[in-house]
Structure 1
Amino acid sequence: MLPPIVSQIMDNFNFDVNPELSREQNAEEVIKSAALLSGAVSIEPLPFADMLILTPLQAKMVLHIGKIYGFDITPERSAEIARELGATVAYGMAARQFMRSVAKIALPVVGGVVTAPLVYGWTYALGRMAQTYFERKIQGLPFHKEDQVQVVQEAKQQSRRVLPSSQDFSELAEELRRRAKEREQSGKNTGQDSQDIQSR
């Protein structure tokens, strides 16, 4: 069973395609939402554990972008695509992830707040990569390594322009924790109610 905070994060990332928006606008909404949630996750003072949340969150983002572009892919395939595209985005990420985790051990809250923009940018770039991947797939065009590198460079610049404030990340992380606590409490109450009924 997933910890309440993980369930809360995944539940907050359920999107339907809005028919009133263009494909590009729908994809933009999904990418920004996934990036914001990813940044909020990085604030959690859990060394290394955020990768257990970020990976399925980013795979779910790819799944949604695929749907927007008319590709009904499986969750497994979306995770594969995220890994394939992530290889280009991930240059230098392993070292950053290690340093981020060390920062969380030494300074739990500060470590998360400082790295939230990095995680936001990483997820944003991965989302743009997925969007371009599906756009090219529709057109029957290949997505070469040099094209991928160019998309990442452009995404870095774009993500800086739309980057939320550290307060936005902190507030979302706090809201997710609050809802997770409510869910956990509700689950305990439901379990207690069941026990009460059975003991009668």
Structure 2
Amino acid sequence: MLRLAVPFVLAAVLTGCSSKEPGTPSAGNQTGGTPTTGTSAGTAPVNRPKAVDLKTLDPCSLITPAAKTSLGLGVVEPGNPLPEYGDGSKRCNETYADHKYIANIHTLVNGGVDRLKKTTGEAKLTPLQVAGYPAYLTKTESPGSAGACEIYIDAHDEQLLLVTGVAGFGDKSATVDGACERAKALAEAAGAVLATK
């Protein structure tokens, strides 16, 4: 099982961050299409299609059979969650049929955007929108591969959905940019389903 060295995790470990505050549900319409707001990013309200408590979410449920086919995924299966992502975190592993890339979807339940910006460094994060959700992209090194691309989706206050694409192992044609293309497409597909939960 591949365990990526994630700057988000390393910084938390190196700074001895042991205080964890549980997230609180966002105010707003939790069942309709009206965007909900929260304060995950500090003082500014967060505009989301729907705030979803990731502690109750199976990340594999975000990949529909149609998305699996259209994304070229060969395998979608539960994986071992990483303890550094919080008690109750879950993981889903994806393998592409062409074997050039692999991917993971993690639920991070022990900190949101503020923590991400402090541990990864705001300068290393590229803001983007994923299926209507605020998100952040960063590229990282991944031992034994050409590198990884991580997309953090602000799904709920103090919780993030992490979609990681990793460039193939031993395949010279796999690149970090290719991993980012795959991660973005996977994040869009997962985010669209997330908004319906």
TM-score by length of 2: 0.27
**Higher-strand-fraction structure:** 2
Larger radius of gyration: 1
TM-score by length of 1: 0.27
**Higher-helix-fraction structure:** 1
